[in-house]
């Protein structure tokens, strides 16, 4: 049964949300293995998310959304969905992060453009993600000018380039493209390009995502071939030095701390939820598995109980850290960027360790593709890839400790 527009704007605090999330998580989990095996994008999952107003939860109520969900509320949604299908949760997380950035009072987004993106999310369930990584540049977080070029023309801009790891690209309505201008002194910044879901000409998907984990995320390569966009779709372009931390204003520094906290908490919640799904599968397995040589379930063995206890300890630490960071951020006091990095390092490390312990206890059963545990393990390994990577996190922390 189709829901009304009012029901689609279900408040994140509504008591019904838990029931909705539980049902969706179970439904997504039922298809996750097939989507993973085929590396097929779960379009129907996003239709279901839109039906329940979940795609627009971070969109402010003034723009028709779910009331500008807090980080704690967004964390709840992402964690619940990731327990069913991590790939779906990842695409939704990227949309939430973009909506958060756009909604900020000090956002550089033009008001009309902001309204257009928000309205499409509310009315159509439109997804948005940032396209930054390139074949030659790698991650922009490591520095360097993008090879993607925006050329000024009489009636707007023409954007050309290639982007890797375009998560959700089969269904993206909007692409926040990191590019440089072709001016003698290039400026760098974000250009809003309609995505494949808009039917625009000049945007092509190269279906080369053949990854170990998150195979259903549709993180293919995207080719932009002379794509025209209106003048105001140059969202925020500046001299390269203005993007460096040393060149940032205090307002930008505050925004960056808030945005990084959102990114780390939501991604941490996603991968923590994957580890919890692995833990739940293991718990069921050791309760039910009763080898003839033992004559009792594996759960009765002290060695098994100890390992399950270690998993519980790792995940408890994650919960405390993620809840605290979300609460601080919602109170207007997000962790410093260095602390957010250490949070990511700890939470993702704990999640990977928990899944590894589950594999060790389950043996061949856990590695079998007939069970979801091996998929959970492959998915949780992807947590190391997101910016900031571990080497950057530890290098910054070490320098801070040593005062060098």
CATH number at residue 233: 2.40.110.10
At residue 207 the predicted structure's pLDDT band, cuts being 50, 70 and 90, is: very high
Q: Which CATH number characterizes residue 383's domain?
A: 1.20.140.10
- 220, 240, 260 — which closes off a domain? 240
Are 77 and 209 in a shared domain? Answer: no
Say how far apart CA 71 and CA 94 lie, in whole Å: 13
Only one residue has tokens 């509310």, namely 122
Are 201 and 280 in a shared domain? Answer: no
Indicate whether 352 pLDDT > 60: yes
At residue 25 the predicted structure's pLDDT band, cuts being 50, 70 and 90, is: very high
Residue 297 tokens, joined: 């379930």
Bridge-based pairing state of the strands 172-181 and 156-166:
unpaired
What pLDDT does 33 receive?
98
Indicate whether 11 pLDDT > 60: no
Non-local (6+) Cβ contacts of 162 within 8 A are: 134, 135, 147, 148, 221, 222, 223, 224
The model's pTM: 0.94
Indicate whether 2 pLDDT > 60: no
Indicate whether 303 pLDDT > 60: yes
What pLDDT does 89 receive?
98
Are 153 and 104 in a shared domain? Answer: no
Are 193 and 269 in a shared domain? Answer: no
DSSP category for residue 68 = -
Indicate whether 119 pLDDT > 50: yes
Least confident of 92-106, 127-141, 181-195: 127-141
What pLDDT does 3 receive?
47
- 66, 97, 125 — which closes off a domain? 125
Are 258 and 396 in a shared domain? Answer: yes
Domains held by the chain: number: 3
Are 268 and 371 in a shared domain? Answer: yes
Quick one: how far is CA 228 from the chain centroid? 28
What is the average per-residue pLDDT within 246-258?
75
Residue 73 sits in which domain range? 5-125
What pLDDT does 253 receive?
76
Indicate whether 129 pLDDT > 90: yes
- 180, 213, 240 — which closes off a domain? 240
Residue 366 tokens, joined: 């856990």
At residue 30 the predicted structure's pLDDT band, cuts being 50, 70 and 90, is: very high
Residue 85 phi/psi, 5-degree rounding, is -150, 110
Decide: 73 and 99 in contact? Cβ < 8 Å: no
Say how far apart CA 68 and CA 126 lie, in whole Å: 16
Are 120 and 135 in a shared domain? Answer: no
What pLDDT does 1 receive?
36
């Amino acid at each position: 049964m189709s829901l009304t527009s009012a029901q689609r704007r279900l408040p994140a605090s509504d008591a019904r949300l838990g029931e909705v999330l539980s049902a969706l998580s179970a439904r997504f989990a039922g298809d996750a293995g097939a989507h993973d095996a085929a590396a097929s994008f779960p379009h129907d999952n996003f239709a279901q998310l839109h039906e329940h107003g979940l795609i627009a939860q971070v969109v402010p109520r003034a723009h028709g959304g779910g009331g500008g969900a807090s980080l704690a509320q967004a964390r709840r949604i992402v964690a619940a969905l990731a327990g069913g299908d991590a790939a779906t949760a990842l695409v939704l997380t990227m949309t939430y992060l973009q909506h958060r950035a756009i909604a900020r009072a000090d956002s550089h987004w033009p008001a009309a453009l902001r309204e257009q993106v928000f309205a499409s999310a509310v009315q159509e369930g439109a997804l948005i993600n940032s396209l930054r990584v390139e074949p030659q540049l790698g991650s922009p977080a490591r520095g360097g000018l993008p090879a993607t070029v925006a050329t000024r023309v009489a009636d707007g801009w023409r954007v050309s380039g290639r982007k890797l790891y375009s998560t959700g690209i089969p269904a993206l309505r909007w692409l926040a493209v990191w590019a440089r201008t072709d001016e003698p002194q290039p400026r760098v910044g974000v250009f809003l390009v309609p995505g494949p879901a808009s039917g625009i000409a000049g945007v092509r998907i190269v279906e080369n995502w053949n990854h170990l984990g998150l195979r259903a995320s549709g993180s293919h390569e995207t080719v932009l071939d002379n794509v025209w966009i209106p003048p105001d779709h140059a969202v925020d372009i500046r001299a390269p030095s203005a993007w460096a931390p040393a060149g940032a204003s205090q307002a930008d520094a505050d925004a960056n701390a808030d945005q990084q906290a959102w990114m780390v908490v939501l991604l941490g919640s996603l991968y923590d939820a994957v580890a919890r799904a692995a833990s739940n599968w293991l718990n069921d397995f050791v309760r039910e598995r009763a080898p003839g040589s033992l004559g009792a379930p594996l759960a009765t063995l002290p060695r098994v109980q100890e390992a399950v206890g270690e998993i519980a300890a790792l995940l408890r630490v994650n919960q405390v850290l993620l809840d605290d960071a979300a609460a601080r951020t919602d109170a207007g006091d997000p962790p410093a960027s260095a602390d957010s990095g250490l949070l990511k390092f700890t939470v993702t490390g704990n999640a990977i360790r928990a899944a590894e312990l589950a594999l060790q206890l389950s043996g061949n059963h856990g590695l079998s593709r007939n069970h979801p545990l091996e998929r959970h393990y492959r998915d949780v390994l992807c947590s190391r890839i997101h910016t900031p990577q571990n080497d950057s996190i530890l290098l910054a922390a070490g320098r801070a400790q040593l005062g060098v």
